[in-house]
């Protein structure tokens, strides 16, 4: 695989209309043909069932609110979670893990990042430019320490174990986490600018346009009741999915099983934290089916099944813009009742970790109403695949040069920053492997051995 082309300079605002304020253009006519090629009459029944299920679940979600999000202790993960705990995590698609990183270490990371940003203030960019809340920083020593912390890696390995392969020959090793460099947030009280509405990060029109990505949702597109058999945790069809067909900044181009962040502050509801729609099956099914239907009366706000009809003659994919994130709102996806169903993450302490499945609809609270900063390091759980290894090789090269990671806004990044992290500073063998600095080792002679062999080749190791 060839290296990804360097992205233009910019910030996180580039692919969110909710941040940039720009309206997207109409999709090309070929998207009407795409809908027609995917259409089955049995999708009408799927739509009916999903709307009925949504109507029932909205009330339950609104009633339970934040309590619906599972919380577990890191020590419980080490001891082994119960079947019920695992079932709850997989159904909601989100989990809070308490006590994974010692509080003192997490607070020290924040202190070190602030010092690094102050020392290199003329080099540091972010959003918004005049009062940065989200920093375009990727190569600080604190971030490298956080990504390679033994407990962080152990958490990622557990989360990847919740996935499986329907095809044993799929070239993905769920036992070997790898590091995906991302940015950080230090959101100050009162901020209203870093407002992300409901969205999913893994592509927009790519969900339907790319055949491999579309295969992940084949049960939903099968029609009838088959949507109930959709398995969000099957890694096999994800391996070759293309999440970024338009080579834009801020779009994750690899298989990232879980998105996540590690808290560097005490943060809770109404303090600028994460919000999620806590039912991955329903959220995904509605997302995939929505483009095929429209209101019979465009002026009507009725959500009743009988007041909606088939829409396969237009290129409309609500909330989808070429090269942007898939976004949602009350107008584009009204049955989701986002004002009632987007629930905030529970209160966390420094060192706690929050993870959400890559398909989970999520958002960031519109205003930080707390009294202290709401600060996180974005650290996901990513499995070893050959494509991910190719990406890691370029990420490693950028890291050594102090440049932004391949998926993020380009430019000189931190190449001229004083005190940035370097590969030679990383000593622990496991830490070096997850960064792609040393070759991976296979724990078995079975199916994962081939993945490890090919991944090491992609990383340039003999």
> Per-residue pLDDT for 21 more than 60?
no
CATH class assigned to 17-170+183-382 = mainly beta
Distance between alpha carbon 5 and the CA centroid of its chain, in Å?
A: 22
Is pLDDT above 60 for 54? yes
The full DSSP string for 59-76 is: HHHHHHGGGGS-EEEHHH
pLDDT digit string (tens) for 304-349? 999 999 999 999 999 998 988 899 999 999 999 999 999 999 999 9
Position 66 pLDDT exceeds 50? yes
Name the percent of the chain lying above pLDDT 90. Answer: 86
Cis peptide before 262 (omega within 30 of 0): no
Q: CB–CB of 8/249 below 8 Å?
A: yes
Domain boundaries, the chain: 17-170+183-382
Quick check: 357 and 257 in contact, CB under 8 A? Answer: yes
- Give the per-residue pLDDT at 323: 86
**Do 180 and 160 form a contact (C-beta atoms < 8 A)?**
no
Max avg pLDDT among 202-206, 212-216, 324-328: 212-216
Taking Cα atoms as reference points, which of 152, 98, 196 lies closest to residue 377?
152
pLDDT of residue 455: 96
- Torsion angles phi and psi, residue 411, rounded to 5: 95, -170
Q: Closest Cα partner for 236 from 300, 169, 288?
A: 169
pLDDT over 70 (residue 16): no
Measured N-to-C along each axis, helices 447-458 and 386-401 cross at an angle, to the nearest 10 degrees, of 30
Closest CA to 383 of 214, 212, 179: 179
DSSP label at residue 200 = E
> How far is it, in rounded angstroms, from Cα 436 to Cα 389?
8
Q: What angle do CA 350, 356, 360 make, to 5 degrees?
A: 145
Query: Does 11 score more than 70 pLDDT?
Result: no
Cα–Cα distance measured from residue 378 to residue 306, given in angstroms and rounded to the nearest whole number? 43
- The pLDDT mean for the chain works out to 93
The 10s digit of each residue's pLDDT in 384-436 is: 999 999 999 999 999 999 999 999 999 999 999 999 999 999 999 999 999 99
In sequence order, the β-bridge partners of residue 355 are 95, 260
Give the pTM.
0.95
Choice among 7-11, 27-31, 44-48, 314-318 with the minimum mean pLDDT: 7-11
Provide the token pair at 108.
Answer: 């020290």
pLDDT at 25: 62
pLDDT for the residue 193:
86
Would you place residue 184 in the very low, low, confident or very high pLDDT band (cuts 50, 70, 90)? very high
How far apart, in Å, do the first and last CA atoms of the chain sit?
17
Residue 106 predicted with pLDDT over 50: yes
Does the pLDDT value for residue 19 go beyond 80? no
How do beta strands 94-98 and 172-178 pair?
unpaired
**Looking at the predicted structure, is the pLDDT value of residue 12 above 70?**
no
Residues with Cβ within 8 Å of residue 205, at least 6 apart in sequence: 27, 31, 245, 317, 320, 321, 322
């Amino acid at each position: 695989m060839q290296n990804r082309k360097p992205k233009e300079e910019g910030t996180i605002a580039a692919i969110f209309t909710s941040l940039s304020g720009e309206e997207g253009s109409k999709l090309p006519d070929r998207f009407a043909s795409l809908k027609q090629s995917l259409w089955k009459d049995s999708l009408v029944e799927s739509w009916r069932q999903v709307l009925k299920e949504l109507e029932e679940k909205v009330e339950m979600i609104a009633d339970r609110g934040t309590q619906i999000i599972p919380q577990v202790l890191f020590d419980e993960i080490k001891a082994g979670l119960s079947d019920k705990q695992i079932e709850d995590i997989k159904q909601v698609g989100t989990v809070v893990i308490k006590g994974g990183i010692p509080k003192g270490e997490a607070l020290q990371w924040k202190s070190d990042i602030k010092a690094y940003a102050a020392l290199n203030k003329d080099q540091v960019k972010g959003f918004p430019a005049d009062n940065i809340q989200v920093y375009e920083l990727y190569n600080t020593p604190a971030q490298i320490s956080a990504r390679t912390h033994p407990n962080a890696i152990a958490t990622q390995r557990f989360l990847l174990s919740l996935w499986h392969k329907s095809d044993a020959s799929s070239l993905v090793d769920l036992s070997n986490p790898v590091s995906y460099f991302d940015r950080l947030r230090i959101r100050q009280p009162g901020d209203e600018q870093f407002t992300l509405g409901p969205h999913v990060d893994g592509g927009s029109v790519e969900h339907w346009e790319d055949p491999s990505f579309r295969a992940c949702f084949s049960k939903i597109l099968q029609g009838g009741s088959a949507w109930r058999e959709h398995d969000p945790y099957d890694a096999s069809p994800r391996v070759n999915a293309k999440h970024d067909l338009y080579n834009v900044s801020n779009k994750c181009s690899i298989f990232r099983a879980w998105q996540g962040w590690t808290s560097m502050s005490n943060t809770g509801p109404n303090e600028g934290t994460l919000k999620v729609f806590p039912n991955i099956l329903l959220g995904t099914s509605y997302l995939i089916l929505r483009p095929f239907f429209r209101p019979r009366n465009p002026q009507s706000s009725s959500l009743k099944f009988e007041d909606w009809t088939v829409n396969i003659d237009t290129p409309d994919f609500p909330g989808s813009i070429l090269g942007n994130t898939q976004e949602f709102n009350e107008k584009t996806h009204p049955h989701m009742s986002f004002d009632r169903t987007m629930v905030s993450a529970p209160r966390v302490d420094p060192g706690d970790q929050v993870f959400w499945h890559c398909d989970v609809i999520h958002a960031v609270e519109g205003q930080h109403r707390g009294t202290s900063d709401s600060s996180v390091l974005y650290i996901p759980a990513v499995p070893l695949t050959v494509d991910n290894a190719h990406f890691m090789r370029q990420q490693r090269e950028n890291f050594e040069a102090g440049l932004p990671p391949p998926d993020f806004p380009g430019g000189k990044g931190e190449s001229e920053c004083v005190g940035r992290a370097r590969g030679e500073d990383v000593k622990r063998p496991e830490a070096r492997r997850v960064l792609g600095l040393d070759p991976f080792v296979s724990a078995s002679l079975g199916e994962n051995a081939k993945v490890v062999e090919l991944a090491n080749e992609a990383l340039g190791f003999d």
